[in-house]
A and B are shown apart, each in its own frame.
Chain A
Amino acid sequence: MSHINIDVENVSFSYEKEHPVLRDITFHAGGQDAIGIIGANGVGKSTLLKLLVGLVPDFSGSVRVGDVLLEKKTLPLIREKIGYVFQDSDSQLFMTNVYEDVAFAPRNYGLPEEEVAARVEQALSQTHTGHLRNRQIYRLSGGEKKLVSIATILSMTPDILLMDEPSVALDPKNRRNLIHILNECGYLKIIASHDLDFIWDTCSRVLLMAEGRIIRDGKTEEILRDGALLEQYGLELPLSLYRRK
């Protein structure tokens, strides 16, 4: 895994002209950054993540992943570098069993079957889901589906990991497990979430979004401790900080 930068410059996007979803988004990330994107419902967090992986066409501005500019012809290259975990695991998992789903990406990249098997085992071991290897997808619980969804992306060994609401549907144990997994893996991570405690535990930097813009870009400690700022944009202090208050 090589460390890679992602440079987002003046990105704007709207589904309808009069209702822009993203407005003039600019940020840069690199190395092993772990960036949390926070904001109230409908501020464009998920759209921004989808845009970064090329699922939202026709935006203005530029996105550069390493040296590669995001455009239609570079999509395959970009998608090899970026792994995207969907908010809803049911939208991510579509093969019959866990092994086949985790093997889907490595096979698409033309790896020999031995290498595919090794990648699958590695990803399952990272997410502690090795025992689910032969389980059919529909027999998994919500938490298991989430962990397997992450394994399907880890098997790609991406340089950048994008996650949309990763802590949804996880019980406390699996949530803690996921925090541990994310803190262990050395990818550049960009995580969109309402779960500010999760962001607190996994991210060193936070982008606060409102009305399609980045309102604040700073250290997690600074932004998540600023109760007034959070309240202004429809959020609240993380519960763990509330208790300490």
Chain B
Amino acid sequence: MNKFDRAIHEIQTMDSMAERDQWVNRIHPLVKLFITVFYIATVVSFPRYALTGLLGMCLYPILLFSAAELSFGESLYRLRIVLLLVCAVGVWNPFFDRTVYAQIGSFAVTGGMVSMLTLMAKGIFTVLAAYLLIATTTIEKICYALRLLHIPKLFVTQVLLIYRYITVLLAEAERMSQAYALRAPGQKGIHHKVWGTFLGGLLLRSMDRAQELYESMCVRGYRGEFYYGNRQRVKAADIAYLLLVAAGILLFRFVPVFEVVGSLFV
């Protein structure tokens, strides 16, 4: 399996996960979208030295991974590049902020170290929350939820079509790279001299394919608005889930739960 094949496979795997019949998948997409945005906003709102409080926010992804029966290891592997980038964001903080924050034996923990870890944790949690949303909700349902929020249809349709066209682009790239590899035995990858032609060809072919897909939509009555099938109603269970999770998030945001629990044993 080459890189393009793997990428297509990853997208297909995400689609399959989102279409499973788990109870998390059945929650109304608007509720999941709201909770995700609320969670991300709450995580981001933690002060830069509030590492202990922030760690409590890891409960949400952990519980959701468990409830959705998603493999944590596979997910981390899938997100490895994004997570590395996210972790790299605060990597310079220890060099700029050298004020001693705490002392562990002879080791001085500086404010920079704490803020770096806080930034990393924030990045990891927000990426995981977004991942959990798309792993439990199909792109059509996410777009449906966005439309319920009156996000302009132009924007929502763009999101949906870009998602669809990514696969088209990858499939074309895969075909071209296979055709190249079969006629360039022994070569590793695509020779840099051919990159221009390759990318130009890829662009033209992808545009042709995208045009055909669009024509296929037009001849089937598409007039700029996607219709997302059954208007799923928000049920009592969805509201209960929303209230419970939102309350949990607020609790961990405004009450130092770990300190309170710790004080019980001191």
Contact between chains at A116 and B218 (CB < 8 Å): no
Contact between chains at B12 and A136 (CB < 8 Å): yes
Contact between chains at B219 and A79 (CB < 8 Å): yes
Query: Known contacts A94-B213, A97-B19; is A152 also within 8 Å of B219 by CB?
Result: no
The answer to whether the Cβ of B230 comes within 8 Å of any Cβ in the partner chain is yes
Contact between chains at B229 and A113 (CB < 8 Å): yes
Q: Please give, as numbers and ranges, the residues of chain B lying within 8 Å of A109 by CB-CB distance.
A: 221
Contact between chains at A152 and B220 (CB < 8 Å): yes
- State which of A84-92, A124-132, A234-242 sits at the interface with chain B: A84-92
Query: Known contacts A91-B209, A96-B15; is A105 also within 8 Å of B220 by CB?
Result: yes
B15 to chain A, nearest CB (A): 5
CA distance A149 to B227 in the complex (A): 19
Contact between chains at A100 and B229 (CB < 8 Å): yes
The answer to whether the Cβ of B223 comes within 8 Å of any Cβ in the partner chain is yes
CA distance A108 to B164 in the complex (A): 18
The answer to whether the Cβ of B257 comes within 8 Å of any Cβ in the partner chain is no
The answer to whether the Cβ of B244 comes within 8 Å of any Cβ in the partner chain is no
Number of B positions contacting A (CB below 8 A): 27
Query: Known contacts A91-B212, A94-B164, A136-B16; is A84 also within 8 Å of B230 by CB?
Result: no
The answer to whether the Cβ of A133 comes within 8 Å of any Cβ in the partner chain is no
The answer to whether the Cβ of A107 comes within 8 Å of any Cβ in the partner chain is yes
Residue in A93, A108, A136 whose beta carbon sits within 8 Å of that of B227 in the complex: A108
The answer to whether the Cβ of A223 comes within 8 Å of any Cβ in the partner chain is no
The answer to whether the Cβ of B215 comes within 8 Å of any Cβ in the partner chain is yes
The answer to whether the Cβ of B115 comes within 8 Å of any Cβ in the partner chain is no
Contact between chains at A100 and B140 (CB < 8 Å): yes
Interface string of B6-33 (1 = CB under 8 A from A): 0010001001100100000000000000
CA distance A76 to B164 in the complex (A): 24
Number of A positions contacting B (CB below 8 A): 36
Residue in B8, B217, B221 whose beta carbon sits within 8 Å of that of A156 in the complex: B221
Kindly report which residue of chain A lies nearest to residue B163, judged by CB atoms: A96
B159 to chain A, nearest CB (A): 14
Contact between chains at A136 and B219 (CB < 8 Å): no
Contact between chains at A108 and B221 (CB < 8 Å): yes
Q: Please give, as numbers and ranges, the residues of chain A lying within 8 Å of B231 by CB-CB distance.
A: 113
Contact between chains at A116 and B219 (CB < 8 Å): no
Contact between chains at A108 and B223 (CB < 8 Å): yes
CA distance A97 to B141 in the complex (A): 13
The answer to whether the Cβ of B138 comes within 8 Å of any Cβ in the partner chain is yes
The answer to whether the Cβ of A203 comes within 8 Å of any Cβ in the partner chain is no
Q: Please give, as numbers and ranges, the residues of chain B lying within 8 Å of A15 by CB-CB distance.
A: none
Q: Please give, as numbers and ranges, the residues of chain B lying within 8 Å of A86 by CB-CB distance.
A: 212, 215-216
Contact between chains at B220 and A88 (CB < 8 Å): no
Q: Please give, as numbers and ranges, the residues of chain A lying within 8 Å of B229 by CB-CB distance.
A: 100, 103, 107, 113, 116
The answer to whether the Cβ of A27 comes within 8 Å of any Cβ in the partner chain is no
Query: Known contacts A86-B216, A91-B213; is A113 also within 8 Å of B230 by CB?
Result: yes
Contact between chains at B216 and A92 (CB < 8 Å): yes
Contact between chains at A96 and B227 (CB < 8 Å): no
The answer to whether the Cβ of B92 comes within 8 Å of any Cβ in the partner chain is no
The answer to whether the Cβ of B222 comes within 8 Å of any Cβ in the partner chain is yes
Query: Known contacts A91-B213, A136-B16; is A80 also within 8 Å of B219 by CB?
Result: no
Residue in B139, B218, B221 whose beta carbon sits within 8 Å of that of A55 in the complex: B218
Contact between chains at B19 and A156 (CB < 8 Å): no
Q: Please give, as numbers and ranges, the residues of chain A lying within 8 Å of B139 by CB-CB distance.
A: 96
Q: What would 5 A/B residue contacts be, using CB atoms closer than 8 Å? A: A80-B221, A90-B171, A96-B15, A96-B19, A108-B221
19 additional contacts (CB under 8 A) given A91-B209, A94-B217, A108-B221: A55-B218, A55-B219, A79-B218, A79-B219, A80-B221, A82-B219, A90-B209, A91-B215, A94-B216, A95-B140, A96-B138, A96-B139, A96-B140, A97-B19, A105-B220, A105-B221, A108-B222, A138-B8, A156-B221
Residues of B within 8 A of A (CB): 8, 12, 15-16, 19, 138-140, 164, 167, 171, 209, 212-213, 215-223, 227, 229-231
Residues of A within 8 A of B (CB): 50, 53-55, 75-76, 79-80, 82-84, 86, 88, 90-97, 100, 103-105, 107-110, 113, 116, 136, 138, 152-153, 156
